[in-house]
Amino acid sequence: MSDRTSSSANNGNRFRLKFWGVRGSYPTVDPATLEVGGNTSCVEVEVDGRRLIFDAGTGIIGLGKEFCEGANPPAAYVFLSHTHIDHVMGLCFFEPLLTPKARSYILGPGSSRGALTRSLRHLTDSHLFPVSLDELKGKKEIFSLAGGEVIRFGAPGRRPKIESPRATNGSLANELIITTCKSSAHPVNGVMLYRVHYQNKSFVYATDIEQQEGGYPEIIEFSRGADLLIHDAQYLHGEYVSRLKPRKGWGHSTVDSAADVAQKAGVKRLALFHHEPTHDDRMMKKIGNHAKRLFRSSVVAREGMQIDLL
Ligand SMILES: [Zn+2]
Ligand SMILES: [Zn+2]
């Protein structure tokens, strides 16, 4: 797979992903890892004239600077998988949150109204950061999701509309919608999976998932037939079952289980994501080859990589 699998004629009709951070757990600056990239989770999606962002790991810092290059920054729609530190550590340095003219909508898992705001306030506790979340100058609205909601969008820049859980045959959606699925397959509070649909194309963002043997049926179903599945693939099978340091229960999948789920869900492509920080570029190359043997249309996500879905 090349970095750019097709080109689209104009921005309005674009459905393009760009990886800004692909590393799991913590960022790395080891030169031996920089071909794949050292920033933690952040994926940007340009679609239907909007810019959506999945997770606010350190990868979001560079993206935020790009957002604020012009005089009128576009609205940022940020979808958090969960609030573990590697997925939110870039948030306090995300330029739109520091820029009075900018507007951000932040959505993520929260069991009740205001729950996500309360979780994120921990980030700016005065012992950890000098300015509180509420004092950051950018305009922001934070929405807690329980899972199962359908998210729709009005005109670009407007507040997203969050509809209550109900069955949606999203795989056939022509308009831009996001469906959500809350999974308990990540300690301790679970994780949100997102599926973005537009013009009958879709991709699934499924990071920080520890698949059970054979895959979780609800995750396979949620990913059914997607054009792209971005899936946690932090460990090699040998690491997962290692006798000295077994990773079972740590909340992440093996490359083998990600490929197995991709196969069972009948997705068109698989992007391995949330890479183990101790895996250097040489190891990642081996992992990429191994994954291709298990699921032919798979690729190791790396920083800067773009994938066009339209
Ligand atoms: Zn993580
Ligand atoms: Zn996590």
Q: How far is the CA of 145 from the centre of ligand 1 (A)?
A: 19
CA 146 to chain centre: 17
Q: Which residue pairs from 165-173 have beta carbons closer than 8 angstroms and sit at least 24 positions apart in sequence?
A: 170/195, 170/197, 170/202, 171/197, 171/200, 171/202, 171/224, 171/225, 171/226, 172/200, 173/197, 173/198, 173/200, 173/202
In angstroms, the CA 266 to CA 9 distance is 28
Q: For 35-58, what is the mean pLDDT?
A: 97
Q: How far is the CA of 187 from the centre of ligand 2 (A)?
A: 7
CA 287 to chain centre: 20
Split at pLDDT 50, 70, 90, the class of 2 is: very low
Contact 97/68 with Cβ under 8 angstroms?
no
Identify which ligand lies nearest to the alpha carbon of 109: 2
Q: How far is the CA of 208 from the centre of ligand 1 (A)?
A: 5
Task: Determine what percent of the chain is predicted with pLDDT higher than 70.
Answer: 94
Q: For 235-248, what is the mean pLDDT?
A: 96
Q: How far is the CA of 104 from the centre of ligand 2 (A)?
A: 23
pTM of the predicted model, to two decimals?
Answer: 0.95
Residue with tokens 């599945």: 229
Confidence at residue 154, expressed as pLDDT on a 0 to 100 scale: 87
Q: How far is the CA of 208 from the centre of ligand 2 (A)?
A: 5
Q: How far is the CA of 8 from the centre of ligand 2 (A)?
A: 34
Tens-place pLDDT, residues 47-100: 999 999 999 999 999 999 999 999 999 999 999 999 999 999 999 999 999 999
Strands (E) across the chain are located at: 15-21, 42-47, 50-54, 76-79, 103-109, 139-145, 150-152, 161-163, 177-183, 191-198, 201-206, 228-232, 270-273, 298-300, 306-308
Q: How far is the CA of 274 from the centre of ligand 1 (A)?
A: 7
Q: For 129-158, what is the mean pLDDT?
A: 95
DSSP 3-state assignment of 240?
helix
Confidence at residue 13, expressed as pLDDT on a 0 to 100 scale: 81
Q: How far is the CA of 252 from the centre of ligand 2 (A)?
A: 8
Q: How far is the CA of 72 from the centre of ligand 2 (A)?
A: 33
Residue 247 pLDDT exceeds 90: yes
CA 41 to chain centre: 6
Confidence at residue 195, expressed as pLDDT on a 0 to 100 scale: 97
Confidence at residue 174, expressed as pLDDT on a 0 to 100 scale: 87
In angstroms, the CA 208 to CA 232 distance is 6
Work out the angle at residue 294's Cα, subtended by the Cα atoms of residues 292 and 299, and round it to the nearest 5 degrees.
30
Q: How far is the CA of 193 from the centre of ligand 2 (A)?
A: 12
Contact 60/21 with Cβ under 8 angstroms?
yes
Confidence at residue 9, expressed as pLDDT on a 0 to 100 scale: 42
Split at pLDDT 50, 70, 90, the class of 7 is: very low
Tens-place pLDDT, residues 144-201: 999 999 999 988 899 999 998 765 554 457 899 999 999 999 999 999 999 999 999 9
Torsion angles phi and psi, residue 292, rounded to 5: -65, -30
